């Protein structure tokens, strides 16, 4: 496995900013992924590519995977900040909503993982390995409740996915990983193993 750690800046939600000054999404999709595939021995398709993130990064992972299902076959959302526009309109005096979306609530909603999951459901359902992990004490900003809503939405959309509430954990990626132990990485072993076999099976069919 090749692991690439992406700098999403402090408050991008892994979107391009409306003013064009911080094109975080575009840099990842248009520059970083092609660079990694050209530089390293990758499986240069969705079957061999996943995205994971914590908190804002968890939101970003779901945003990218559901907006570009043709690029990502695996997504892991760790305590993602998948909260609604009203939260971001008040959190940090609305700075994120203003900095990323110029205060445009409709633009925020179009790019929210919930909206993208519904929009691209047919391209995701049965094709993308999805995991949601959140601590059962992660209630300070409503992260637990938001991820429960995310889980419910994915069930309604009939997405096969894993959902884990980790006991005793607040908003801490270290505590999530420490408590999950090997299970944190067994998810990827299964997802990539299955995806790789699917890719081989498809290639075999094409060659016949």
Cβ-proximal residues to 21 (8 Å cutoff; 6+ apart), any chain: none
Phi, psi of 61 (to 5 degrees): -60, -45
pTM: 0.91
178 pLDDT above the threshold of 60: yes
Asked if CATH classification 3.40.50.620 holds for the domain at 24-203, the reply, yes or no, is no
Q: Alpha-carbon distance 7 to 2, whole Å? A: 16
Average pLDDT of the residues of the chain: 92
Cβ-proximal residues to 175 (8 Å cutoff; 6+ apart), any chain: 135, 166, 169
| Burial environment of residue 51 by CB neighbours within 10 A (0 to 12, 13 to 18, 19 or more) | buried
Spell out where 71-180 has E strands.
74-78, 129-135, 161-166
Confidence of residue 199 (pLDDT cuts 50, 70, 90): low
Per-residue pLDDT tens digits for 46-68? 999 999 999 999 999 999 999 99
DSSP bridge pairs for 143: none
Contact 117/35 with Cβ under 8 angstroms? no
Per-residue pLDDT tens digits for 109-126? 999 999 999 999 999 999
Between 20 and 195, the more confident residue is 20
Which secondary structure element, helix H or strand E, spans residue 54, and what is its range? strand 50-54
Between 9 and 195, the more confident residue is 9
Per-residue pLDDT tens digits for 1-34? 899 999 999 889 999 999 999 999 999 999 999 9
Confidence of residue 206 (pLDDT cuts 50, 70, 90): very low
First to last CA, the chain: 30
Q: How far is CA 21 from CA 12, 26, 37, 85, in A?
A: 11, 11, 26, 22
């Amino acid at each position: 496995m090749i692991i690439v750690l992406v700098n999403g800046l402090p408050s991008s939600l892994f979107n391009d900013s409306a003013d064009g000054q911080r094109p975080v999404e575009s840099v990842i999709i248009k520059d970083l992924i092609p660079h990694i595939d050209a530089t390293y021995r990758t499986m240069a398709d969705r079957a061999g590519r996943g995205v994971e993130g914590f908190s804002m990064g968890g939101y970003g992972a779901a945003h990218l995977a559901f907006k570009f299902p043709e690029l990502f076959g695996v997504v892991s959302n760790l305590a993602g900040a998948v909260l609604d526009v009203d939260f971001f309109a008040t959190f940090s005096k609305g700075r994120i909503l203003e900095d990323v979306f110029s205060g445009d609530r409709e633009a925020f909603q179009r790019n929210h993982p919930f909206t993208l999951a519904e929009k691209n459901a047919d391209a995701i359902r049965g094709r993308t390995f999805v995991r949601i992990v959140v601590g059962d004490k992660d209630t300070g900003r409503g992260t637990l409740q938001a991820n429960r809503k995310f889980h419910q939405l994915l069930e309604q959309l009939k997405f096969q996915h894993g959902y884990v509430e980790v006991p005793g954990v607040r908003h801490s990626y270290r505590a999530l990983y420490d408590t999950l132990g090997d299970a944190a990485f067994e998810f990827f072993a299964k997802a990539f193993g299955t995806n790789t076999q699917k890719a081989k099976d498809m290639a075999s069919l094409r060659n016949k």
